[in-house]
Chain A
Amino acid sequence: MGEKHLELVVINRNCLGVIETGAKLIRKTKMGAPRWDEIHSGENAPRPLYEKLLQHFDSLRGPDLRNLGERMEATLREMGVKLELPAHEAQRPWICDLLPQVFEHAEWNTIASGFRQRMQAFDLFLQDVYSKKQILRDAVVPIHPVLGSRNYQNAAVGLPRLQGAYLHLSSMCVTRDVKGRIAVKHHHFSHASGISYMMQNRRALARITPEIFEDVSIQSLADAPQTIVEKLRDSAESSVRDPSVVLLSPGTGSTVYSEHSFLARRMGIPLVQGGDLLVLDDHVYLKTVQGLERVEVIYSRMSDSWLDPLVFRSNSRLGIPGLIHCLRKGTVTVINGIGSQLADDRALLCFAQHIIMYYLNQRPILPTLQTYWLGDIDQMEMVLANLENYQIRSISGYEISDPSEKPATRATEEFIRQEVRRNASHFIAQPISADAVTVCFDKGKEAERVQDHMIFALRNGNNIDVFPGALTRLFESKPPFDDNSSPWTSKDTWVLTNGDEPVPPQPKKRMRRLREADVPSRQVTSRVAEAFYWMGRYLERAYHQAYLIQVIETLETEELNSAERKLYRPMWNRLLPPLETSAGTSRRSITNRVDRYRLVLLPEPGTVISTFRNAASNASSIQESLSPEAWATLSELLSRFERVKYRADLPEHECVRVTRKLSDAATRLIPQFFAIATGSMLADDGWRFCAIGQVLERAIITANSVVSISKSIVRDDSKAEPDRSSEIELSAFLRLLGTRDAYRRVYQMRAEAIPVLEILWQNTQAPRSVLRCLQRCARQLHESSPSDTLGTTKAISAIEALIKKIKGINWSLYVRSQDDDETPAQKKANVKEEKTHELEPLLKELLDSTLEIHTLISDAFLSHQAQISQGVQTVVS
């Protein structure tokens, strides 16, 4: 942050002075272009709108101001407001300036009507170019920028739309040109991004500096998300009663994922990704742990081209195959309408005026910023000759990425020139003087920024409502090609009410405010539940493996002699948890120090690090569902693993040190994660599936381990004396399963086959007993499944059947008891010879039944195979 501060000083020093033009003040900045001054009307003379605000901040001392700024940042962080930058830093703190941007009532009315006019005109334009194409036939707009645009979607022709309209929730970027007029810089009709930031800025500023809100009358932004979802429901309601709406997000890869998550939460609708939805019989369904639920309206935050791999990019894994077909059949709607992205094509900015005149027969209320299409060779040469005065932007999604990008350096300019010459028709240019200069507070000091404003509007039947506010974006210098890749900060944006006029009452009639009782229990989608489930399983697996390594390390160095080591080693390998696929299992070995080092750190399947990474990647896909404390524990462990790199040539004693260090961290932090999560998280369906994964994995590990020692349990018993080596082996075995202490407490005797089998399979209290794990698993499933679908019932009854079977096993039928009272002859008589041979098959069968529980849970709750294959069978018959 220190660096940023330095840069600011430089900007100030490079201010080239102040030019008066009439009564207006225009600053000439380091970018070499004169600009409108938003805040001042003369040297140090604030405009009346800002007078009081500046006075307020002037009255604060530097440290106080700095302190306020820090509190602001902390507040926004607490609120979870984030903007993720893909190429640069992973996550940047969201910054909202202390000084708000203010719009007067009258000027805002003009902006709002200009927005309405444009949105109406472009909706009519979309309706036309996706049907009769009259505007092209009449040659008002050339054919190429429309039909040749990569955002023109043939698949959109003839698709039904919500209320016949393409645009429902739209955005536009406006700016003040050098004369102080508001002009339209860019259309974001198809994709309104930033509403949550606009709202969060208001909330944060009101919390940090409530005093500046006194004595001003600002139009309220509250409930924007609810208004949006109400309108979506209303417009769909003609066809469906109480339609179900979901917000479709590309997932955590999106730079504005925190917005998706905020909006979905405030709208009270599920936040879903492509994999959460499924097409069956021409309808779209949401996969939840409660079963499949019909979806009628999709509020999409994804580009058209990713929506359906059957129609658009065939490599899209984010989309829903078959979605477009459901749209065609009218069983679902997507807003904004498929194909609307065409309206955002920057090449069309040049024709906005004609489009408005053509469809509405009106003059544009808001001018469009001077925009040059560089496909025109004269315009291109003119722009390239004065490149420093222009902002070059790509027309639609065509991205320039220059890894070495630094604002306004020679190298970047060269790079732009090359790109523009190579693909001129992909670019437009706008004068950089378009953005006004404003003032913000950075680290308690006044600093200069240039700004533009993102404004938002929502269709309301035939009308369009513009939200009275904006996301004002501040840039330190001219923004590079892609807004998302350049660091920017923001301002809360006030729209004043008309002093004389009372604030129009909000239309209360249709607003259903969600009461606590009405809020549907948080639906957990199957994807989220599945991520939780695998997180639980992988964490338990990683824990167990690290624990095994730790114990064996201790046993080897402290307790066992070399003969004993030789005896146990084969067993140790068999104690490794089974993997889902057989790949790599044979190579895993735990028997010597270097092997154990490899087993901890080698980046291949089945090692502690890769198992833990699997857990962590599942966790990060559902990070917003985890409590920050729980997440912190996981990321601590992850960073410990990431800090150490596997080295094939590491000396043995170093291997031991690293192995110990990492397995200690894993066995300490994983249980800590479960404890913290249980204590700090909502015990909803998601978390329950983590617990289910954990106990099921544990049951599988125990069941698998017991199979591995079945041979030693039924070992040759011709010796009358109790088998000493067998006892040591069983005792070590219990220790490796973390059950030796529990065994001693329960039986208070040395380790013998039957009680060992009992404590590992049938005990209801021992931590790792299969029975106890399965009982916990069944309990959790009962809690999360009130619906009596066939799959659910099948899964639960299978677990219960297995529990019953386990309870009924009499181990003494399979194992010779070591009762001292009996003579060898009696022993022989007691035991039915053939039964001892059946122990191993029995244990294997039990293991298989335990493994089968996974498939049943997955079919019933996660992949819905149970329900779907049932559905399909009825279709066939």
Chain B
Amino acid sequence: MIFEISHITHYTYGHQAAEAYGEARLTPPNLPSQKVLSHSIMINPETKTSSYVDHYGNKVQFFSLPFRHKKLSVINQMVVETTPVERPMESLELSVQEVRQIFSSALTDIFDFLQPTEVVEIGKEAVQWARKYLRGDMPLGEGLQRLNEAIHDSFDYKKGSTDNSTSLSAIWKEKRGVCQDFAHVGLSILRTAGLPARYVCGYIETDPPKPGSKALVGAVATHAWIEVLVPGMAWVAIDPTNRQWCNERYVAVSFGRDFRDATPLRGTFKGSGGQLMNVKVFMKRRAERPKG
């Protein structure tokens, strides 16, 4: 499938900002499951960007606007072709215990993806869930599927019910949140179970595939899901928000230990007054080329 995606972020400051600096993690990588046909980032007011690759392999654009401005817009546009990828069934048939065993010798390289972070705390619920859904004798694939479904079924998706400052323990308690929270819940359980996992930020096609069927949750803004590292060093993606293994309707953009690492835009500005952020994502599937 070929997707045309526009992701537009507007910041309006309460007063003029005197200096603003930012980092954009908005460049989609080429992966077995996706090929980037074109990509561009536009920043307004116009400024130079300068890029680097961060610790998690994300291509980052750094930009500085050390002059007065009232508004800032970042327009991210891309055309990405996705292809379905077979799940590594061999690895998914290993038991959770075997997987842990295999990874124990690679701890130095996967350390980050096993640790709690400030936002992905490990608490007693995570420990209970890990025991229940990721038992040592259970095949990894089955465990992941059950966990993914359990998160979806036990937590309510509720837009606006949480924000970036809502702690994971509050989400465990309220049992509701948005895709970002679903992903953090999953990460805390997987890491508690000793399975390396990372946070993914990207886009999902939400239009109902056939007229009459149910639309998927996630669009209008960016989407977030989880990837689990399996033996053979392959990442397997699950989406607890939509209760499914990720497929060719997903476009991944950035990765990290949690939301903070992978956040599409982060920045800081000097100036009095607050700011208003407005995000819009448009994702359109190109019509299939006629065969032959």
A and B found bound together: yes
Interface on A for B, CB 8 Å cutoff? Answer: 133, 136-137, 143, 147-148, 154-155, 157, 278-282, 309-310, 314, 321-322, 325, 328-329, 863, 865, 868-869, 872, 875-876
Cβ of A484 to closest chain B Cβ, rounded Å: 25
Instruction: Answer whether residue B231 sits at the interface, using C-beta atoms and an 8 A cutoff.
Output: no
Q: Which of B266-281 contact A (CB under 8 A)?
A: 266-268
Which of B46, B115, B268 has the most chain A CB within a 10 Å cutoff?
B268
| CB-based nearest A residue for B270 | A275
Instruction: Answer whether residue B11 sits at the interface, using C-beta atoms and an 8 A cutoff.
Output: no
| CB-based nearest A residue for B266 | A310
Which residues does chain A contribute within 8 Å of B108, judged by CB atoms? 133, 136-137, 143, 147
Which residues does chain A contribute within 8 Å of B46, judged by CB atoms? 876
* C-alpha spacing A154/B117, complex, angstroms: 13
Instruction: Answer whether residue B29 sits at the interface, using C-beta atoms and an 8 A cutoff.
Output: no
B268 close to A321 (CB less than 8 A): yes
B67 close to A281 (CB less than 8 A): no
8 Å CB contact of B268 from A136, A310, A328, A863: A310
B52 close to A325 (CB less than 8 A): yes
Instruction: Answer whether residue B62 sits at the interface, using C-beta atoms and an 8 A cutoff.
Output: yes
| CB-based nearest A residue for B109 | A133
Given contacts A133-B108, A868-B67, A872-B47, contact A154 B266 (CB under 8 A): no
Given contacts A136-B108, A310-B268, A322-B21, contact A155 B62 (CB under 8 A): no
| CB-based nearest B residue for A328 | B52
Given contacts A133-B108, A310-B268, contact A872 B115 (CB under 8 A): no
* C-alpha spacing A875/B22, complex, angstroms: 18
Given contacts A310-B22, A321-B268, A876-B46, contact A278 B66 (CB under 8 A): yes
B52 close to A310 (CB less than 8 A): no
Which of B21, B115, B267 has the most chain A CB within a 10 Å cutoff?
B21
B115 close to A148 (CB less than 8 A): yes
B21 close to A310 (CB less than 8 A): yes
Interface on B for A, CB 8 Å cutoff? Answer: 18-19, 21-23, 46-48, 50, 52, 55, 62, 64, 66-68, 107-108, 111-112, 115, 266-268
8 Å CB contact of B50 from A314, A329, A863: A329
8 Å CB contact of A143 from B23, B47, B50, B111: B111
Cβ of A159 to closest chain B Cβ, rounded Å: 10
| CB-based nearest B residue for A319 | B268
A322 close to B62 (CB less than 8 A): yes
B55 close to A280 (CB less than 8 A): no
* C-alpha spacing A876/B44, complex, angstroms: 12
Cβ of A212 to closest chain B Cβ, rounded Å: 53
* C-alpha spacing A321/B18, complex, angstroms: 13
* C-alpha spacing A329/B64, complex, angstroms: 15
B23 close to A310 (CB less than 8 A): yes
* C-alpha spacing A157/B115, complex, angstroms: 18
* C-alpha spacing A136/B108, complex, angstroms: 7
B67 close to A875 (CB less than 8 A): no
Determine chain A's interface SS by DSSP, over half rule: mixed
* C-alpha spacing A876/B67, complex, angstroms: 14
- Complex A-B, nearest 3 residue pairs according to Cβ-Cβ distance, in ascending order: A321-B21, A154-B55, A325-B62
| CB-based nearest B residue for A135 | B108
A280 close to B64 (CB less than 8 A): yes
A282 close to B21 (CB less than 8 A): no
| CB-based nearest B residue for A869 | B67
* C-alpha spacing A869/B18, complex, angstroms: 11
* C-alpha spacing A314/B266, complex, angstroms: 9
Which residues does chain A contribute within 8 Å of B66, judged by CB atoms? 278-280, 868
* C-alpha spacing A872/B63, complex, angstroms: 12
A148 close to B111 (CB less than 8 A): yes
* C-alpha spacing A280/B268, complex, angstroms: 15
| CB-based nearest A residue for B106 | A137
A322 close to B266 (CB less than 8 A): no
Cβ of B191 to closest chain A Cβ, rounded Å: 13
A/B interface sample: 11 pairs, CB < 8 A: A136-B108, A143-B108, A278-B66, A281-B48, A310-B23, A314-B268, A321-B19, A321-B267, A322-B21, A322-B64, A865-B67
Which residues does chain A contribute within 8 Å of B62, judged by CB atoms? 282, 310, 322, 325
Task: Kindly list 4 other residue pairs between chains A and B, CB separation below 8 angstroms, not including A310-B268, A322-B64, A863-B18.
Answer: A147-B112, A281-B50, A282-B50, A865-B18
Cβ of B178 to closest chain A Cβ, rounded Å: 21
8 Å CB contact of A157 from B21, B48, B55: B55
Cβ of B8 to closest chain A Cβ, rounded Å: 21
* C-alpha spacing A309/B112, complex, angstroms: 21
| CB-based nearest B residue for A157 | B55
| CB-based nearest B residue for A155 | B55
Given contacts A148-B115, A868-B66, contact A310 B107 (CB under 8 A): no
* C-alpha spacing A683/B115, complex, angstroms: 57
A875 close to B48 (CB less than 8 A): yes
Which residues does chain B contribute within 8 Å of A278, judged by CB atoms? 19, 66
* C-alpha spacing A519/B140, complex, angstroms: 69
Which residues does chain B contribute within 8 Å of A872, judged by CB atoms? 47, 67
Cβ of B65 to closest chain A Cβ, rounded Å: 8
* C-alpha spacing A795/B48, complex, angstroms: 28
Which residues does chain A contribute within 8 Å of B19, judged by CB atoms? 278, 321
8 Å CB contact of A309 from B47, B111, B268: B268
Cβ of B113 to closest chain A Cβ, rounded Å: 11
* C-alpha spacing A136/B112, complex, angstroms: 14
Cβ of B7 to closest chain A Cβ, rounded Å: 20
Which residues does chain A contribute within 8 Å of B267, judged by CB atoms? 310, 321
* C-alpha spacing A329/B52, complex, angstroms: 9
| CB-based nearest B residue for A876 | B46
Which residues does chain A contribute within 8 Å of B47, judged by CB atoms? 872, 875
Which residues does chain B contribute within 8 Å of A281, judged by CB atoms? 48, 50, 64
| CB-based nearest A residue for B105 | A137
Cβ of A153 to closest chain B Cβ, rounded Å: 10
* C-alpha spacing A148/B21, complex, angstroms: 29
* C-alpha spacing A123/B192, complex, angstroms: 34
B111 close to A279 (CB less than 8 A): no
Which residues does chain B contribute within 8 Å of A309, judged by CB atoms? 268
8 Å CB contact of A865 from B50, B68, B111, B112: B68
Cβ of A584 to closest chain B Cβ, rounded Å: 15
* C-alpha spacing A71/B13, complex, angstroms: 57
* C-alpha spacing A872/B66, complex, angstroms: 9
| CB-based nearest A residue for B45 | A872
* C-alpha spacing A155/B68, complex, angstroms: 29
Cβ of B72 to closest chain A Cβ, rounded Å: 14
Which residues does chain B contribute within 8 Å of A148, judged by CB atoms? 111, 115
* C-alpha spacing A322/B269, complex, angstroms: 12
8 Å CB contact of A325 from B50, B68, B107, B115: B50
Which of B47, B55, B66 has the most chain A CB within a 10 Å cutoff?
B66
* C-alpha spacing A860/B107, complex, angstroms: 54
* C-alpha spacing A872/B52, complex, angstroms: 22
Which residues does chain B contribute within 8 Å of A279, judged by CB atoms? 21, 64, 66
Which residues does chain B contribute within 8 Å of A322, judged by CB atoms? 21, 62, 64
